[in-house]
Structure 1
Amino acid sequence: MGAVSLRGVSKSFGVVDVIKDVSIDIAEGEFCVLIGPSGSGKSTLLRIIAGLETASDGEIHIGGRDVTDLEPKQRDIAMVFQSYALYPQMTVRENMSFALRLARRPKDEINQKIDQVAQVLGLEKLLDRLPKELSGGQRQRVAMGRAIVRNPAVFLFDEPLSNLDAKLRSQVRGEIRDLHHRLNTTSVYVTHDQVEAMTMGQKVVVLRDGRVEQAGTPLELYDLPDSIFVASFIGSPAINMMNATIDADGKSLALRDSQSRLPVPGNYSAFAGREVVVGIRPEYLEVVSHDTVDALPATVRAVETTGSDTTVICDSPVGQILVSSKSRSPLHMGEDIALRVADGKALLFDKQTERRLTPSA
């Protein structure tokens, strides 16, 4: 049993509150990603689950056991660190077997487990090498192997890929995902990289200033963010934000600092006259003729392409707007265009509370 449950967990360092009343349920076998900007408390929260930090308040349960006051070795967890944390004087085999040797497991059992895990991770030919003789990706696989041989109830990952280059990061990300599918062990993964969060997480928890801003599946956070913060933090290129007012009849949006109007994406008549922030993902904007009605006039500032993706950066009366697509763009700098929003694809947030408004049925 490896379900993880946090109930009202808080952590203070002196007068500074780092974690504030966090409650999270992670199902057995679930891959949960903790994400947030620097200083949001995600690594501290992971260390509290591991027992490396003591919670100032609240409870931590692992596999149905209250482990709040237990030492790390009593929690049945294994942690993979950003810095690998390998013993430099030990070979790969010795690093991977260290915990089993401490537990005085039989030598034959240790060798069998090491050989099995090394085969899974592609480390068979590296077992007699020292960490300094390995690449960054190989060291990270050794660190994962050391965790796997213990067969813990929960894996904890603290930004394990941040020291790797982009290509290797993508490769090891896939390896971790495949391992989770094979082992089905509950995993809690800390990252600041939203690509990792979106591609690996079954559940994603967005932290902000020590609190849970929103938790859900990657697509729930992307399509239905609860707040301006989540909408802005999740997604690349970043979501476009513009100030507006819902007209008195509830049928259109009057954009601030512009003569332009956009159609309301649903029944928001209950919020008529409300000041809002409109969020539009770059892929939901279509480039149309500059004289199109119910579209936002703009001028092309730049066109960026990666080969498979194109981003058009535009200047508009409401500020800079990004438009993204999978097709090549014939647009050029200085060209006058207009931008039309795909039906129902704008998100409306209350200007004061910054929370998403829900349209009436």
Structure 2
Amino acid sequence: MADGDLPTDLASRSTNGVTPARGGNPFASRIGGGGVGLQPAPPAAAAPVQPAALVGSAEPLAAAAPSDAPPVTGAGSPALGTPKGKVRLGDRVLLALTTGAAGFVVVLVVLVAFFLLVKSVPSILDDKVNFLTSTEWSPTPGNLRFGIAPLLYTTVVISILAMILAVPTAIGIALFITHYAPKSIARPVAYAIDLLAAIPSIIYGIWGARVLAPHLVGAQHALYHLGGVPLFKDRNVPTGSLFNGGVVLAIMILPIVTAISRDVFERTPRENIEAAWALGATKWEMVRLAVLPYGRAGVISGAMLGLGRALGETIAVFLILSKVSHFSPSMFSGGETIASKIANSASEFNDPASTGAYIAAGLVLFVLTFVVNAAARTIVNRRKDFT
């Protein structure tokens, strides 16, 4: 028997799952192994298991579900027992409710605008002075002389001042809560900011007039040296000025802007943040390149909501601002906003002509807030690429 040959009984014996490595031999020498090694055969492919419903059937699985069968898509699907194209009763009810709710809002806005127009146009036509530019306000029946300029100026100035003070502060607080502060500090700060939104306006007004205003006299004195600027020229009412009203309004809208900014900053994709870290960015560079661009649209939305709140605020401004006999553009002077003027003169609503003058002022405020909201929506739509 030559070297390498095996006995006939071994060659004919079943290997029971052991396959020859070379030349049909079930055993092969392993180089460097110092002996003879076994190489098991790979397991045989298992037979496909058919579902229990098809056991004993000679038809393949594909025959049980033809390729041209309609897919299961939900309501109205043949697989669910509903005829194709038929809408369920629950879907019809839900569609009717949601459509009715949306339509109700639209109809309500249209009715409010229609009411303001119908009630204000006769008084505007009977006005003896220019409604938009005159500084006179004397809605006497039979001799209507009223202009919206001082009221509109005061409303816009204190609202813009509130935005200038509140928006940067709100962004800083939101970034601190979401990316800098530990949770043990971030949660109490967030709760404290949210609590500011629950304080009634009248509390803000009393606190601003009695507590905050005396402490702001020093700030007004420092800004008075900018007397060449009309906004800082006069100081005839140190504790009831537009400046004080703007500061209180900034505190009032701070929770709104902070809450929305915090929400959008928390939703920044983790991939954007990790990409900034991978590029070697510092904490501030990560915030500037990843967090702020993503949350820009949300911050703008929050700022516009805060502006709408400031424009329409009534009782707090009414308690803080002091009345003046003549109009002054200085922030250290007193005045009245459109909302506070209407609230302060409610006792004069006994004549249709006089009432129409105040309704005309309300129409201006309505248009102003509508324009602000429309501008905010336009800006947000243009910034969708960042979100």
Assess same fold via TM > 0.5: no
Q: Which has the higher strand share?
A: 1
Q: TM-score range by the shorter chain?
A: under 0.3
TM-score normalised per structure 1: 0.20
Q: Which has the larger radius of gyration?
A: 2
